[in-house]
């Protein structure tokens, strides 16, 4: 089914380096397919890993699973979220590879499987992050959240809770609205079926739902092919379930029915095939620290102090940022910022002990932020620090303009990599006006004053994001639910810039 799985934090993408490490050791000469659910953090981190692998001459293809019908229109199927459809898409692609498909063929089949897969789900209550005092969200009594996400996102809308039969009818009708036409040599009314529990809806209840699903499919002239009922794509202790259909043709059905053997999903007997075993593995190791001057090491010490400050601030703000994010996201922004800044501060300390200059320290801190936080914020803040490093030199000191230019370079990286524009309800809504205000206020030797005045502008812009609906990221799917709440990334950016200005003053 797969040769490796990089593991990030709970509900967060694995970091670029984690994806790279797993892919680097799984690759055996035929190239790599990176498969993941279509979420912003995964797109950034898996994309970054793909760039590193391609730079080393490894052919890499990317498959973004996008089966969630509620998260975008049928015309934009490949820009939907990936939820329970991950399982059949990866199962079919893995079976094709096991049968001998090369990289081009495996990519074609994986995309074909994704384009044939549709899912729809409901939630009755939210999941609880490990150590958190309560769930990320609650569904009102006698209501259900329609259109849930698997990373703890609430439903797109609330409706009165139905019986098992009524819920099955809602989900099946939603998926069948996108049933393809039946054509000779293609789809003929046969579908792989997955009724998936998200953590607290157990097998007895899931089979009750499946009974109605099977009845509805029969009435629609559809034959279920090797249905799966159980907890296969879970979301901690989330109360909810989803229905997935893969509209099969002969090729997809062959790979859906093939044997598979993983720790949590087993079907049939795998053929015994002798394969050479890898004896040497790539390992991430600390690079040799470049030489640096005393002046650059002094600047590095100051930068490390800023990262220590950022860590303290993010720990202080973790709960509030998580609360904001839970309203129209997955509630992990506060945790991600705390993890990221902690990792960056620790990496900076280690770099100082190794005699690193300013540039090297920022690069290693950026890598550590991305590694420690995962998710979208980890990728963007990590890239920002690495981009800011280009302004400094391991062989030279610093001047006030370097600080302003470094922040400018970091914001440029955030906008370039994230692809967000002002008005999309992201960190950019605070960062872009901050950048403009800082440039207007900076006279050449008043970095702290320019940053402080720009931070006020950033906070006003961040607060104003409460009045717009999200156009990017997970909040986009929840539409009107994001109204009335500011974007957590914009808020955290404005807080850190204010703290930076006060620190420099």
- 198-224 tens-digit pLDDT: 999 999 999 999 999 999 999 999 999
Residues near 324 by Cβ (< 8 Å), separated by ≥ 6?
Answer: 333, 485, 486, 488, 491
d(CA 50, CA 93): 19
pLDDT at 477: 59
Identify each DSSP E strand in 252-339 by its residue range.
260-261, 266-267
E-only strand ranges, 127-174 = 143-146, 157-160
Residue 472: band (very low, low, confident or very high) from pLDDT cuts 50, 70, 90: low
User: What pLDDT is recorded for position 41?
Assistant: 87
Average pLDDT over residues 80-86: 95
- pLDDT range class, residue 285, cuts 50, 70, 90: low
Place 480 in a pLDDT band, splitting at 50, 70 and 90: low
What is the sign, positive or negative, of the torsion defined by CA atoms of 19, 21, 24, 27? negative
The pLDDT of residue 327 is above 90: no
Lowest mean pLDDT among 14-18, 32-36, 280-284, 428-432: 280-284
Hey, is 138 helix, strand or coil? Answer: coil
Q: How far apart are CA 328 and CA 317, in angstroms?
A: 18
- Tokens 């002239």 label which residue? 221
Per-residue pLDDT, averaged over 402-414, amounts to 95
Task: Determine the Cα–Cα distance for residues 279 and 257; give it in Å rounded to an integer.
Answer: 33
Q: What is the rounded distance in angstroms from the CA atom of residue 1 to the CA atom of residue 4?
A: 9
Q: Which domains does the chain have, with CATH numbers?
A: 1-65 (3.40.50.10440), 67-262 (3.30.1180.20), 294-504 (1.25.40.340)
- The DSSP secondary structure of 336-405, one letter per residue, reads HHHHHHHHHHHHHHHHHHTT--HHHHHHHHHHHHHHHH-HHHHHHHHHHHHHHHTT--TTS---HHHHHH
The answer, yes or no, to whether residue 292 has pLDDT greater than 80, is yes
Ordered DSSP codes for 163-211? -HHHHHHHHHHHHHTTPPPP-TTS--SEEEEEEEE-BSS-HHHHHHHHH
Q: Look at residues 18, 6, 10 and name the one whose alpha carbon lies nearest to residue 382.
A: 18
Rounded CA-CA distance 163/140 in Å is 16
pLDDT of 473 > 60? The answer is no
Tell me which residue has tokens 């139905």.
162
Q: Answer for the pair 135, 128: CB distance below 8 angstroms, yes or no.
A: yes
CA distance 505 to 497: 12
Please list the active-site residues: 151
Measured in Å, how far apart are the chain's first and last C-alpha atoms? 56
- Specify the pLDDT at position 223: 98
Length of the chain, please?
Answer: 505
Contacts of residue 476, Cβ cutoff 8 Å, sequence gap at least 6: 469, 470
* The pLDDT of residue 63: 97
Average pLDDT over residues 442-446: 93
| pLDDT value at 1 more than 70 | yes
User: Which residue matches tokens 């501060």?
Assistant: 345
Residue 475: its pLDDT value, please? 52
**Is a pLDDT exceeding 90 seen at residue 497?**
yes
What does the pLDDT average to over 11-31? 91
User: Please, which pLDDT band fits residue 479 given cuts at 50, 70 and 90?
Assistant: low
């Amino acid at each position: 089914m797969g040769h490796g799985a990089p593991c990030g934090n709970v509900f967060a993408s694995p970091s670029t380096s984690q994806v790279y490490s797993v892919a680097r050791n799984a690759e055996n000469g035929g190239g790599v397919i990176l498969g993941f659910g279509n979420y912003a953090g995964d797109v950034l981190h898996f994309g970054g890993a793909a760039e590193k692998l391609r730079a080393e001459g490894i052919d890499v293809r990317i498959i973004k699973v996008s089966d969630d019908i509620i998260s975008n229109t049928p015309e934009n199927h490949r820009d939907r979220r990936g939820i329970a459809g991950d399982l059949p898409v990866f199962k079919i692609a893995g079976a094709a590879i096991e049968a001998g498909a090369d990289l081009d063929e495996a990519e074609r089949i994986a995309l074909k499987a994704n384009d044939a897969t549709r899912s729809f789900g409901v939630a009755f209550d939210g999941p609880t992050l490990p150590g958190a005092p309560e769930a990320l969200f609650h569904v009102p009594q006698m209501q259900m959240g329609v259109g849930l996400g698997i990373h703890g996102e609430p439903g797109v809308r609330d409706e009165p809770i139905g019986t098992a039969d009524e819920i099955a009818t809602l989900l099946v009708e939603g998926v069948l609205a996108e049933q393809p036409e039946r054509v000779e040599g293609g789809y003929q009314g046969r579908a792989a079926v997955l009724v998936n529990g998200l953590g607290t809806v157990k097998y007895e209840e899931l089979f009750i739902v499946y009974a109605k699903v099977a009845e509805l499919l029969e009435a629609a002239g559809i034959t279920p092919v090797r249905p799966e009922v159980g907890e296969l794509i879970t979301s901690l202790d989330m109360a909810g379930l989803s229905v997935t259909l893969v509209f099969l043709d002969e090729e997809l059905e062959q790979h859906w029915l093939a044997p598979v053997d993983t720790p949590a999903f087993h079907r049939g007997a795998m053929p015994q095939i002798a394969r050479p075993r890898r004896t040497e593995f790539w390992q991430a190791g600390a690079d040799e620290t470049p030489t640096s001057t005393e002046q650059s090491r002094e600047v590095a010490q100051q930068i490390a102090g800023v990262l220590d400050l950022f860590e303290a601030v993010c720990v202080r703000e973790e709960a509030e940022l998580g609360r904001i994010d839970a309203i129209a996201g997955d509630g992990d922004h506060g945790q991600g910022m705390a993890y990221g800044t902690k990792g960056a501060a620790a990496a900076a300390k280690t770099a100082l002990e190794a005699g690193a200059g300013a540039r090297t320290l920022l690069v290693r801190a950026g890598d550590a932020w991305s590694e420690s936080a995962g998710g979208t914020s980890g990728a963007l803040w990590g890239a920002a620090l690495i981009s800011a490093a280009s302004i400094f030199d391991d062989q030279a000191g610093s001047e006030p303009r370097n600080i302003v230019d470094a922040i400018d370079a970091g914001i440029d990286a955030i906008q370039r990599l994230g692809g967000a524009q002002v008005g999309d309800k992201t960190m950019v809504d605070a960062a872009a006006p901050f950048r403009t205000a800082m440039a207007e206020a900076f006279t050449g030797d008043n970095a702290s004053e320019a940053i402080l005045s720009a931070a006020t502008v950033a906070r006003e812009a961040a607060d104003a994001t409460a009045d717009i609906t999200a156009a990017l990221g997970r909040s986009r799917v929840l539409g009107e639910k994001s109204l009335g709440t500011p974007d957590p990334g914009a808020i955290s950016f404005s807080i850190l810039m204010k703290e930076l200005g006060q620190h420099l003053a």
